């Protein structure tokens, strides 16, 4: 499973340690320290890594960065991340967008990267199994099964825009 770790620059040392522990736990973690070389367009490389990821881990500290907020917006608009978005609260005063509080939130205030990597790995495996067991959707009128049903682009766009406005209003 490919995992993208989103974090504020102030948490880079812990993020680096967590990525190493997650790799040791058997996860395929994108590592910007290895992938973002001098002269490379970091925005394109980061965007591609986010698109290729099967799961996202958000490291939440006192103040999320602008890029972390954008990555949150992207993640909640993607159906493929269902059951695979995990937030790690690094400080008691971490500002977590309300939508992420409704998903898996782990306490990482002790900054034990090995224990956190193990817990993240366990949660991602159980989230993947839950997604596989989901029953197919049925239409209201005919009862026919709709395999791979997805919301329209318009609905995803409206939802993402609304969440962005609400997140910005709650985190001025």
Phi, psi of 82, deg, nearest 5: -55, 125
**Mean pLDDT computed over 40-51:** 84
Cβ-based burial of 85 (10 A; exposed 0-12, middle 13-18, buried ≥19): buried
**Mean pLDDT computed over 38-45:** 82
Residue 129: predicted pLDDT: 43
- Whole-angstrom Cα distance, residue 169 to residue 47? 25
CA torsion angle 134 69 59 85 (round to 10): 0
Average predicted confidence (pLDDT) for the chain: 78
Residue 140: predicted pLDDT: 46
Got the DSSP string for 95-132? ---HHHHTSEEEE-TT--HHHHHHHHHHHHHHHHHHHH
Residue 167 has pLDDT above 70, yes or no: no
- Whole-angstrom Cα distance, residue 28 to residue 1? 6
Q: Is 59 within 8 Å of 109 (Cβ atoms)?
A: no
**pTM for this one?**
0.70
Residue 143: predicted pLDDT: 45
pLDDT in tens, 50-71: 889 999 999 998 777 788 888 8
Q: Is 29 within 8 Å of 42 (Cβ atoms)?
A: no
Token pair belonging to 59: 């490291």
Cα angle, residue 121 at apex, residues 120 and 124 outer, rounded to 5°: 85
Domains of the chain: residue spans and CATH: 2-135 (3.40.50.10140)
Q: Is 93 within 8 Å of 111 (Cβ atoms)?
A: no
pLDDT in tens, 77-116: 888 888 889 999 998 888 888 888 888 999 998 989 999 9
């Amino acid at each position: 499973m490919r995992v993208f770790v989103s974090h504020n620059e102030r948490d880079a040392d812990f993020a680096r340690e967590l990525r190493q522990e997650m790799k040791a736990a058997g996860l395929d973690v994108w590592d910007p320290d290895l992938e973002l070389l001098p002269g490379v367009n970091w925005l394109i490389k980061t965007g591609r890594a986010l698109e290729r990821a099967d799961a996202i881990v958000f490291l939440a500290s006192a103040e999320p960065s602008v890029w972390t907020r954008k990555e949150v917006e992207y993640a909640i608009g993607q159906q493929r991340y269902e059951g695979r978005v995990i937030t790690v609260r690094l400080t008691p005063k971490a500002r977590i967008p309300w939508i992420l509080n409704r998903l898996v939130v782990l306490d990482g205030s002790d900054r034990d990267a090995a224990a956190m990597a193990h817990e993240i790995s366990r949660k991602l495996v159980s989230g993947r199994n839950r997604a596989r067991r989901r029953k197919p959707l049925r239409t209201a009128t005919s009862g026919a099964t709709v395999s791979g049903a997805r919301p329209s682009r318009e609905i995803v766009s409206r939802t993402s825009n609304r969440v962005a406005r609400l997140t910005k209003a709650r985190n001025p």
